[in-house]
Copies of this chain bind each other. A is one copy, B any other.
Amino acid sequence: MKLRDLGELGLIARIERLAGRVQGSRVVLGIGDDAALLRPRAGETWVWTTDACFEGVHFRFGPEPPARIGRRALTANLSDLAAMGARPVAFTLAFAAPPRLDAAVALALVRGAVAEGAARGCPLVGGNVTRASETSLTIAALGILARRERALLRSAARPGDRLLVTGRLGGAALDRARLERRGGRPRHRPEARLGAGRALARLPGAGACIDVSDGLLADLRHILVASRVGAEVRLDAVPRGRGFEAACRALGEDPERLVLAGGEDYELLFTVRRGAPGAGALARRLGVPVAEIGRITDRPGLLRVLGGRPGAAAARGWSHFGAR
């Protein structure tokens, strides 16, 4: 069955069923009216983000199962909440697709987002569907910070801070390269680092934080600009998966480029003050692997990559429209 047969109201009714009865303690009313209703508790800060996932840009049908695409669309938003230290509350989904799209594919996209939301305590509470010439999912997500939790701002890095990153980098870019060249199924399954972000928001001595969505250096630059500082990154300290270099060589990919500029790893890149716990202690506290990869300097905007090829620091991450 095509979307044109299911129709707008048919699709909305199916999505409503997928969303189910919303359980979130702050959600008063989910899908089905002009807007969703949420009731915050006193003293909370609400954290609000939006991110889009477009066919031809962020995904292609074929190599990637639709449910995984939907899941990834939500993960991009949850990762923004994680990078602020917030706990998710709910999300809305604006879905667009051509009438010729299989209704089963449309519903699998939505189901993937809803399932990921259910797993991360973030129910679907509203949305919109529209006809368009290509398929897209535009999500907005709300999270909260409790009274005593501090938002992890990009602007909070200071000279002398240590620079750290969770997990491993370059894996998502390697997976995309493999799919493009060899086909098969995606192996990389990025997850928003929600628990780590929340632990960081409660850590005395935490500095700036951002999620690695566009690539390590591109996202680090956002911290440098917002905090008016510089940074040094030790290339050999940037964590990558087991067999990463060999896999890159086999595909003819440059491992340095994938590690520094590959996007969508959704790891957290953050700084801590000099006296904060070491990487091992931080890893235990955050519940994920943590590696120290460099430091923040007092030279605004200057980014040095130690151990990289000359010009490595100029590596560009993902950019829409082409230019930077």
Residues of chain A touching chain B, judged by Cβ–Cβ distance below 8 Å, are 3-11, 28-29, 32-40, 42-52, 54, 56-58, 80-81, 83-84, 86, 90, 92-94, 96-97, 99, 125-134, 136, 138, 140, 142-143, 145, 151, 153-155, 209-211, 226, 319-324
Contacts and interface: CB of A to CB of B under 8 A. Distances in A.
Contacts of A33: 84, 151, 153-155, 226
The 6 closest A-B pairs by CB, nearest first: A7-B323, A140-B140, A35-B49, A42-B42, A138-B138, A34-B83
A132 B142 contact: no
Given A33-B155, A84-B33, A133 B49 contact: no
Given A132-B134, A132-B136, A319 B37 contact: no
B324 A35 contact: no
A221 to B, nearest CB: 9
Oligomeric state, in number of copies?
2
B153 A35 contact: no
B36 A154 contact: no
Given A52-B94, A134-B134, A45 B28 contact: yes
27 contacts: A5-B323, A10-B323, A28-B45, A29-B151, A32-B155, A33-B155, A34-B80, A34-B81, A35-B143, A36-B47, A37-B46, A37-B145, A38-B47, A39-B44, A39-B45, A40-B46, A46-B46, A48-B90, A48-B142, A50-B93, A50-B128, A52-B128, A56-B133, A99-B320, A130-B320, A131-B320, A132-B136
Contacts of A151: 29, 33, 37
Given A38-B45, A80-B34, A153-B33, A52 B138 contact: yes
B133 A8 contact: no
A34 B321 contact: no
Given A52-B138, A134-B134, A136-B132, A35 B5 contact: no
Given A48-B92, A50-B92, A138-B94, A321 B226 contact: no
Given A32-B154, A35-B80, A321 B131 contact: yes
